[in-house]
Amino acid sequence: MNRAEFVPYSDRHDPGTTTEAAARAFYETMRKRRTVRMFSEQPVERATVEWLVRAAHSAPSGANKQPWRFVCVQDRATKQRIRIAAEREEREFYERRANHEWLQDLAPLGTDPDKGFLEVAPWLVVVFQLTHLDDGSQVYYLKESVGLACGFFLAAAHQAGLATLTHTPSPMGFLREVLGRPEHERPFLLIPLGYASDDCVVPRAAIHRRPLDDVLVVV
Ligand code: IYR
């Protein structure tokens, strides 16, 4: 290790309280996050979106390659084109592609092929994974890296009082075409972003979490 290439780890987050209290406080914040399908048309400033993308872009990634691009759509006509193309895929999904168990699992969420939120939400943040960087160089742990950045984005949006939806119309190839993105950018996640509408409801079933014992193993 060449020490000259390193800097002190001095920017530690100071919770100003015990670690446990800070961890609990963050949990109390995050557990209130909901995936929302009912958005208000109230605008969100571009500057806010930029801070959210900065937060996402601070995520760790394989060899720090940052293999992501956040295409943030506010243009009405583009949002409409995305809605039309997404609904075409979703109709195919609900009518043919999904098997019985999948449709049963979705029933409590009340989802259907109508994706009006794609035009109502003030922003559609389309996250692309880069199969290589623009200069052709390799990337590593692509899905893990982009998934982490998306998690940071969702947490940042929630912290800012904004609602998000993790939307994955499948297949998502149309997003590359509609947005005119190059071949090495693959759609990863479509995140409608905005304020939840005043009459917004969320499915009770989506709030349930299995007991901690089910997901936490300490050895
Ligand atoms: N993409 C479809 C179906 C869907 C699939 C899963 I897995 C979800 O958690 C929710 C929806 C849709 O958006 O309706």
The ligand 1 atom nearest the CA atom of 109: 10
Intervals of the chain under pLDDT 50: none
Cβ proximity of 82 and 118 under 8 Å = yes
Spacing, Cα 32 to ligand 1 middle (Å): 21
Spacing, Cα 100 to ligand 1 middle (Å): 14
Our mutation pick for probing the ligand 1 site, out of 106, 109, 115, 172, counting the most ligand atoms within 8 A of Cβ, is 106
Task: Give ligand 1 pocket residues (Cβ under 6 A).
Answer: 90, 93, 106, 109, 111, 167-170
Confidence at residue 129, expressed as pLDDT on a 0 to 100 scale: 98
pLDDT digits (tens, 9 = 90+) for 183-193: 999 999 999 99
Dist. CA 140–CA 66, nearest whole Å: 9
pLDDT digits (tens, 9 = 90+) for 91-102: 999 999 999 999
Q: Break the chain into its structural domains and give their ranges.
A: 43-195
Burial of 180 (0-12, 13-18, 19+ CB in 10 A): exposed
The ligand 1 atom nearest the CA atom of 169: 1
Measured N-to-C along each axis, helices 46-57 and 142-159 cross at an angle, to the nearest 10 degrees, of: 140
The full 3-state SS of the chain, as one line of letters, equals CCHHHCCCCCCCCCCCCCHHHHHHHHHHHHCCCCECCCECCCCCCHHHHHHHHHHHHCCCCHHHCCCEEEEEECCHHHHHHHHHHHHHHHHHHHHHHCCHHHHHHHHHHCCCCCCCHHHHCCEEEEEEEECCCCCCCCCCCHHHHHHHHHHHHHHHHHHCCCEECCECCCCCHHHHHHCCCCCCEEEEEEEEEECECCCCCCCHHHCCCCCHHHHCCCC
Cβ proximity of 203 and 105 under 8 Å = no
What is the residue with the minimal CA distance to atom 6 of ligand 1?
106
Q: What class does CATH assign to 43-195?
A: alpha beta
Our mutation pick for probing the ligand 1 site, out of 111, 112, 189, 191, counting the most ligand atoms within 8 A of Cβ, is 111
Q: Which residues are CB-contacts of 7 (< 8 A; sequence separation ≥ 6)?
A: none
The reported pTM is: 0.96
Q: Which residues are CB-contacts of 100 (< 8 A; sequence separation ≥ 6)?
A: none
Spacing, Cα 52 to ligand 1 middle (Å): 24
